[in-house]
C-alpha cells in the first residue's frame, strides 16, 4: 500500500499535511508522535472512514482513494484494531472471529479454530466476551481482525488499554501472528518504546507532518532535531 501526500483540514487548518507512507507485506510501519499530531486522522483516511482533502492511496497500484474516487472501506482488504474496538457482546468468541468471513461453513469453522488455537483460546470458543479477561478479549479481537486475511492491518494504539504486566506478551504475540500471516501493518502509537519494540520502520509525526522516517535504530540514534530528542527521552 502506497500513501501519498495525504491532506486533511479541519476548520481551514491542516491536521494531516503531506503525509506519505509505504506499508509493505510482512513489515510493521509505525506512525509515532505525540497526542494530537494527526495519527488517528491519517489512519482513518487509510481505512476509508475519513475523506481526503488531497493526496491518494494505492493498493497494488490501484487507487482506492484520491481524485479517481473512493473504494469503500470493506473492499480495501484492510483489517482494523483499535483500543476501543470492542467485540460484539452478544456473539460467542467463535462468531466474533467468524464475523467477517465469507465462503463455505467448513472453511470458516476451520479458520476460526486454527486462529483460536494459535492465540491459545480454543477452550473459550463458545464463551462470550464478558467471560474473558482484557488480554483474552484483545487476542480474540486480533484473531477477528486477521481472520479474513487482510493485506494490511491498521492498528490505532491497540495496546493502550492493557495493563503493563500483560502488554509486552500481547505485543510479541500480535507481532508474531501478523508476520506469520504476512500482513503489512500500520501501527499508530504515541509511545516511543512501543515503536522501538515493534516497528521495522518508524515515521515520526509532529503537527500533521512526518518529520523523520527510517529504521528504529537510526531514528533513535540520529534524531532529526531537539524536539525529537525530547520526545524520545520524555517517555523514559
- Indicate which of ligand ADP, Mg ion, none lies near residue 41 (CB less than 5 to 8 Å, by partner kind): ligand ADP
| 52 vs 93, beta carbon nearer ligand ADP | 52
Q: How far is the CB of 154 from Mg ion (least distance, A)?
A: 12
Cα–Cα distance for residue pair 125/140, rounded to 1 Å: 10
Residues numbered 98-137 forming contacts with ligand ADP, rule: CB under 6 A: none
Give the strands of the sheet with 69-70, arranged side by side: 13-22, 2-10, 54-59, 62-66, 69-70
Q: Is 184 left (phi over 0), alpha (psi -120 to 50) or beta?
A: beta
Question: By the 8 A CB rule, do 6 and 55 touch?
Answer: yes
Q: Is 91 left (phi over 0), alpha (psi -120 to 50) or beta?
A: beta
Say whether 62 sits in a helix, a strand or coil: strand
Residues numbered 125-144 forming contacts with Mg ion, rule: CB under 5 A: none
Question: By the 8 A CB rule, do 34 and 231 touch?
Answer: yes
- Indicate which of Mg ion, ligand ADP, none lies near residue 36 (CB less than 5 to 8 Å, by partner kind): ligand ADP
Question: By the 8 A CB rule, do 44 and 2 touch?
Answer: no
Q: How far is the CB of 32 from ligand ADP (least distance, A)?
A: 10
| 33 vs 129, beta carbon nearer ligand ADP | 33
Question: By the 8 A CB rule, do 7 and 54 touch?
Answer: yes
Q: How far is the CB of 207 from ligand ADP (least distance, A)?
A: 9
| 35 vs 221, beta carbon nearer ligand ADP | 35
Q: Is position 40 an interface residue for Mg ion (rule: CB under 5 A)?
A: yes
Q: Is position 174 an interface residue for Mg ion (rule: CB under 5 A)?
A: no
Grid cell of 126 as nine digits: 463458545
Residues numbered 5-44 forming contacts with ligand ADP, rule: CB under 6 A: 10, 15, 33, 35-41
Grid cell of 205 as nine digits: 509525526
Point out the residue whose Cβ comes nearest to Mg ion.
Answer: 40
Give the strands of the sheet with 152-156, arranged side by side: 78-82, 152-156, 184-189, 28-32, 201-206, 209-214
Q: How far is the CB of 29 from ligand ADP (least distance, A)?
A: 15
| 37 vs 93, beta carbon nearer Mg ion | 37
Grid cell of 182 as nine digits: 504476512
| 50 vs 95, beta carbon nearer Mg ion | 50
Q: How far is the CB of 16 from ligand ADP (least distance, A)?
A: 7
Q: How far is the CB of 101 from Mg ion (least distance, A)?
A: 29
Q: Which residues bind ligand ADP (CB under 6 A)?
A: 10, 15, 33, 35-41
Q: Which residues bind Mg ion (CB under 5 A)?
A: 40
Amino acid at each position: 500500500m502506497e500513501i501519498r501526500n495525504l491532506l486533511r483540514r479541519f476548520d481551514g487548518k491542516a491536521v494531516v499535511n503531506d503525509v506519505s507512507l509505504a506499508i509493505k507485506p510482512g513489515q510493521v510501519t509505525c506512525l509515532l508522535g505525540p497526542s494530537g499530531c494527526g495519527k488517528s486522522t491519517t489512519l482513518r483516511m487509510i481505512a476509508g472512514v475519513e475523506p481526503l482533502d488531497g493526496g491518494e492511496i494505492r493498493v497494488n497500484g490501484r487507487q482506492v482513494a484520491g481524485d479517481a474516487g473512493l473504494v469503500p472501506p470493506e473492499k480495501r482488504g484492510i483489517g482494523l484494531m483499535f483500543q476501543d474496538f470492542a467485540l460484539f457482546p452478544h456473539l460467542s468468541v467463535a462468531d466474533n472471529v467468524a464475523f467477517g468471513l465469507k465462503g463455505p461453513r467448513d472453511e470458516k469453522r476451520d479458520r476460526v479454530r486454527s486462529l483460536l488455537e494459535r492465540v491459545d483460546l480454543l477452550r473459550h470458543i463458545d464463551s462470550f466476551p464478558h467471560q474473558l479477561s482484557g488480554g483474552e478479549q484483545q487476542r480474540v479481537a486480533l484473531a477477528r481482525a486477521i481472520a479474513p486475511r487482510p493485506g494490511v492491518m491498521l492498528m490505532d494504539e491497540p495496546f493502550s488499554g492493557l495493563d503493563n504486566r500483560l502488554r509486552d506478551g500481547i505485543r510479541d504475540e500480535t507481532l508474531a501472528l501478523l508476520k506469520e500471516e504476512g500482513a503489512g501493518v500500520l501501527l499508530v502509537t504515541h509511545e516511543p518504546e512501543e515503536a522501538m519494540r515493534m516497528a521495522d520502520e518508524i515515521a515520526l509525526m509532529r503537527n500533521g507532518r512526518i518529520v523523520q522516517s527510517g529504521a528504529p535504530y537510526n531514528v533513535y540514534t540520529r534524531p532529526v532535531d531537539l524536539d525529537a530528542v525530547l520526545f524520545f527521552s520524555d517517555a523514559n
